[in-house]
Amino acid sequence: MPPLRLLFLGSDPIALPVLEYLAGAGRELATLVAVYTQPDRPHGRGQKVVPGPIKEWALAHGLPVYQPERLGPDDTARVRDLGVDAALVMAFGQLLKDDFLAAPPSGVFNLHTSLLPQYRGACPATVAIASGDGETGVTLMRVVRKLDAGAIVDQERVPIGPHETTASLEAALGVAAVPLTARGLAALRAGALAAREQDESAVSYCRRLAKTDGVLDFSRPAAELARRINALMPWPGCAIEIGGVMVKLGLAEATAGGGAPPGTVLAPECDALPVATGEGTLRLLRLQRPGGKMLPATEFLRGFAVPTGCVLASQPMPPLVAREPFPRKS
């Protein structure tokens, strides 16, 4: 039985472990025929236009790369011309229309980084951390026009550690997607792929993050604030204003105790800057001043004075998850 002819669509480095698998051990199951990814974008302080990591990988492996701003009829025709059997999507960043979805005869499949039907939408790993979940995972699903609503083929579970950030969790999810892909391609190639519809009563949604999400309300419990800080690392990152300087927070944890008004900076500890909250104490473990590096609290405090007893300003924290889809911003 020949390998499947597979088209891949992705734009984020989270997909690189799957691509490495497809270029290596997965070649017995599927042959990559082309890669779709987002157009090159300005990047960094100089705003230089650079290729994304998926494009760089594809070119290094001699694969055709296509980068339309929006998929159109030419792309649907190309899928047919390439003789594609199936398409695999992971963090691509575009909605796929019906004509494109119908082009591969064996279907279009998505690797979504949550345990669907939980956390449909744009930032499921971030929301899983912020919500205090003990685990999350990757779901292999059929793609339909409705957001992340397709039938579930298989799932791979991933634990969430106490100091997990979105960066570390997405790295683990990228690796977890490999055995999931292997099982799915083997079943598809053998004609034995099964899928189950999602339980619509258990659906929840998350939204795209914005820079304005990096605020903290110190009247909330310390455990919630620590999860929020860790979840929003590396982007957009939570920040606090100290003496007119915006200090970015990289890692935090919560402990019991407290008693001071919420937002009050307590006496520095050996490895943390503690802050009183509405319930418990928030221990800030890593901090970064503008133009500096993210440092452990002890190192940061050697070069940046934070007065004990000062009160940090609170701001309402926008919700990250809801039972209904978030309205699109105009």
Q: How far apart are CA 92 and CA 73, in angstroms?
A: 18
Beta-strand pair 65-66/30-36 = parallel
Percent of the chain at pLDDT > 90 equals 95
pLDDT of residue 45: 73
pLDDT average, residue stretch 59-74:
97
Question: 166 near 234, Cβ under 8 Å?
Answer: yes
Q: Helices 16-23 & 166-189, crossing angle to 10 degrees?
A: 40
Whose CA is closest to 58, among 18, 110, 97? 18
pLDDT 10s digits, 123-164:
999 999 999 999 999 999 999 999 999 999 999 999 999 999
pLDDT of residue 48: 87
Q: How far apart are CA 169 and CA 214, in angstroms?
A: 19
pLDDT of residue 208: 94
DSSP E strand stretches across 97-231: 108-112, 120-121, 135-142, 152-159, 205-206
pLDDT average, residue stretch 281-299:
97
Whose CA is closest to 238, among 125, 128, 315? 315
Which tokens sit at 238?
Answer: 């939570």
DSSP E strand stretches across the chain: 4-10, 30-36, 41-43, 48-50, 65-66, 86-90, 108-112, 120-121, 135-142, 152-159, 205-206, 238-242, 245-255, 273-276, 281-288, 295-296, 321-322
pLDDT 10s digits, 5-56:
999 999 999 999 999 999 999 999 999 999 999 999 887 777 888 899 999 9
Residue with tokens 């792929």: 193
**Helix, strand counts (H, E) of the chain:** 8, 17
pLDDT 10s digits, 176-211:
999 999 999 999 999 999 999 999 999 999 999 999
Question: What stretch of H or E contains 172?
Answer: helix 166-189
Q: Helices 16-23 & 53-60, crossing angle to 10 degrees?
A: 10
Question: What stretch of H or E contains 17?
Answer: helix 16-23
Termini Cα distance of the chain: 49
pLDDT 10s digits, 299-314:
999 999 999 999 999 9
DSSP state of 230: H
pLDDT 10s digits, 220-277:
999 999 999 999 999 999 999 999 999 999 999 999 987 899 999 999 999 999 999 9
DSSP state of 256: S
pLDDT of residue 330: 46
Q: How far apart are CA 274 and CA 267, in angstroms?
A: 7
Q: How far apart are CA 300 and CA 298, in angstroms?
A: 5
Question: Is 90 exceeded by the pLDDT of residue 328?
Answer: no
What b-and-e string marks burial along 254-290, b requiring 16 or more CB atoms within 10 Å of the CB? beeebebebbbbbebeeebbbbbbbbbbbbbbbbbbe
pLDDT of residue 236: 96
Q: How far apart are CA 108 and CA 193, in angstroms?
A: 13
Domains of the chain, earliest start first? 4-205 (3.40.50.170), 211-303 (3.10.25.10)
pLDDT of residue 23: 98
